[in-house]
A and B are shown apart, each in its own frame.
Chain A
Amino acid sequence: MAGSSKPESSDVRAATYHRRSLSYHWRTNLSVVLAAVVGTAALTGALLVGDSVRGSLREQALVRLGSIDHALIADRFFRERLANDLLESAHLQKRVAAASAAILLRGGVAHADSGRRVNRISILGVDERFWGLASTPADNPDWPDEERIVALNEPLASELSAQPSDTVLLRVGTPVDIPTETLLGRRDDTSSTLRLTVRAIISSDGLGSFDAHPQQRLPRNAFVPLATLQRAIGRPGAANAVLVAYKGADSNTDFTADLQAALAECLTLEDLGLRLRENKAHEYLSLESDRLLIEPPVEAAARAAAQKAGLRAGNILAYLANSIEVESTAGDQDEAVPYSVVAAIDPQVLHPDRPMRSPQGSPVAPPEPGRILLNEWAADELNADIGDRVRLTYYLTGPRGRLDTASHEFELTGIVALSGPAADPGFTPDYPGITDATRLADWDPPFPIDLSRIRDRDEEYWDEHRATPKAFVHLAEGQSLWISDEQRFGRLTSMRFYPARNQNLASAAQALRSQLLNNLKLSQLGLRFDAVRKRALDAGRGSIDFGGMFIGFSFFLIISAAMLVALTFRLGMERRAGEIGLLLAVGFTPKRVARMLLGEGAAVAAIGAVVGTGAGLAYAWLMLAGLRSWWSDAVSAPFLRLHAPAASLIIGLFAGFLIATASAAWALRGLTRASPRALLAGAISAGVIRGSARRARAAWIIAVGAFLAAGGLAVASVGASATVRAAVFFGSGAALLIACIAALAAGAARSQPSVIRPTNPMAVTRLGVRNASRHPGRSLLTVGLIASAVFVIVAIGAFRLKTGDDPYARSAGTGGFAVLAEAAVPLQHDLNIPEGRQALGLAAEDEYLHDVHVYPFRLRPGDEASCLNLYRPTAPRIIGATEEFVCRGGFTFADSVAETDTERENPWLLLRKQFDDGAVPVIGDQDTVMWQLHLGLSQDLTITDERGRAVPLRFVGVLKGSVLAGELIVAEDRFLRLFPSTTGYGYFLIETPPDGVGQLEERLEAQLADYGFDATSTVQRLREYHAIQNTYLSTFQTLGGLGLVLGTLGMAAVLLRNVWERRSEMALLRALGFRRSTLGWLVLAENGALLLAGLAVGCASALLAILPQLLTAPREVPWGSLALTLVLVLATGMLSGLAALRPALRTPLLPALRSE
Chain B
Amino acid sequence: MTEALHAESISKNFPTSRGPLEVLRDISLQLLRGESATVMGPSGSGKSTLLNILGALEPPTSGRVTLGGRDPASMSETELAAFRNRSVGFVFQDHHLLPQCSVLENVLIPTIAERKSHDVPEALSRARMLLDRVSLADRTDHRPAELSGGERQRAAIARALINRPTLLLADEPTGNLDRASAEAVAALLLDLHREENTILLVVTHSESLARHFTRCFELADGGLVEAREQ
Contact = CB atoms under 8 A, between A and B. Distances in A.
Interface of A: 1-2, 4-6, 9-14, 16-17, 20-21, 23-25, 578-579, 581-592, 675-677, 680, 691
A696 to B, nearest CB: 15
Contacts of B128: 2
B141 interface: yes
Contact of A2 (B17, B96, B137): B137
Top-3 shortest CB links A-B: A587-B85, A24-B100, A12-B108
B94 A578 contact: yes
B104 A592 contact: no
A12 B101 contact: yes
Given A24-B100, A585-B57, A9 B105 contact: yes
A586 B100 contact: no
30 contacts: A2-B104, A2-B131, A2-B137, A2-B138, A5-B140, A9-B105, A10-B104, A12-B105, A12-B109, A17-B105, A17-B109, A20-B105, A23-B100, A578-B94, A578-B96, A583-B109, A585-B55, A585-B84, A586-B110, A587-B81, A587-B88, A588-B85, A588-B113, A589-B77, A592-B113, A675-B58, A677-B49, A677-B58, A680-B92, A680-B94
Contacts of A586: 84-85, 90, 109-110, 113, 159
Nearest to A596: B112
Q: How large is the interface on B (under 10, 10 to 19, 20 to 34, 35 or more residues)?
A: 35 or more
Given A16-B105, A21-B100, A586-B90, A9 B140 contact: yes
A680 B98 CA distance: 12
Most buried by A among B112, B124, B128: B112
B129 to A, nearest CB: 10
Most buried by B among A10, A20, A25, A585: A585
Nearest to A678: B58
Nearest to A579: B98
Interface string B120-139: 10001000100110000110
B112 A17 contact: yes
Contacts of B94: 578, 680
A592 B57 contact: no
Contacts of B102: 5, 9
Nearest to A13: B112
B111 interface: yes
Interface string B69-108: 0000000011011111110101010101011111011001
Given A579-B96, A677-B52, A1 B109 contact: no
A25 B100 contact: yes
B146 interface: no
B96 A14 contact: no
Contacts of A14: 112, 115
Contacts of B57: 584-585, 675-677
Interface in B41-65: 48-49, 52, 55, 57-58
A675 B81 CA distance: 13
A680 B124 CA distance: 26
A618 B99 CA distance: 37
A12 B102 CA distance: 10
Nearest to A15: B112
B8 interface: no
B104 A587 contact: no
B68 to A, nearest CB: 16
B79 to A, nearest CB: 9
Contacts of B100: 17, 20-21, 23-25
Contacts of B178: none
Nearest to B156: A582
Given A5-B104, A588-B81, A676-B57, 7 more contacts: A17-B109, A23-B100, A585-B57, A586-B90, A587-B83, A587-B110, A675-B57
A586 B90 CA distance: 7
Contacts of A588: 81, 85, 113
Contacts of B113: 583, 586-589, 592
Interface of B: 17, 48-49, 52, 55, 57-58, 77-78, 80-86, 88, 90, 92, 94, 96, 98-102, 104-105, 108-115, 120, 124, 128, 131-132, 137-138, 140-141, 159, 163
Contacts of B98: 17, 20-21, 579, 582
Contact of A585 (B86, B90, B101, B138): B90
A680 B92 CA distance: 9
Nearest to B115: A14
A11 B112 CA distance: 10
B58 A6 contact: no
A809 to B, nearest CB: 66
A44 to B, nearest CB: 31
Contacts of B17: 691
Nearest to B108: A12
Contact of A6 (B80, B108, B111, B141): B141
Nearest to B163: A587
A677 B159 CA distance: 18
Contacts of A6: 141
A1150 to B, nearest CB: 18
Nearest to A581: B96
Most buried by B among A24, A586, A589, A592: A586
Contacts of B77: 589-591
A610 B223 CA distance: 59
A2 B132 contact: yes
Contacts of B99: 24
Given A11-B124, A582-B96, A5 B141 contact: yes
Given A23-B100, A587-B86, A676 B58 contact: yes
Contact of B78 (A4, A11, A13, A589): A589
B86 A9 contact: no
B16 to A, nearest CB: 11
B96 A680 contact: yes
Contacts of B105: 9, 12, 16-17, 20
A10 B115 CA distance: 17
Nearest to A588: B113
B213 to A, nearest CB: 22
Contacts of A591: 77
Nearest to A26: B100
Contacts of B140: 2, 5, 9
A766 B137 CA distance: 55
A676 B72 CA distance: 15
Contacts of A677: 48-49, 52, 57-58
A1 B128 CA distance: 10
Given A585-B57, A585-B84, A677-B52, A1 B138 contact: yes
Nearest to B51: A677
Given A2-B128, A583-B109, A588-B113, A12 B137 contact: no
A681 to B, nearest CB: 9
Contacts of B110: 586-587
B112 to A, nearest CB: 6
A6 B78 CA distance: 34
A12 B112 contact: yes
A589 B111 CA distance: 13
A12 B100 CA distance: 12
A578 B100 CA distance: 13
A223 B115 CA distance: 79
A596 to B, nearest CB: 9
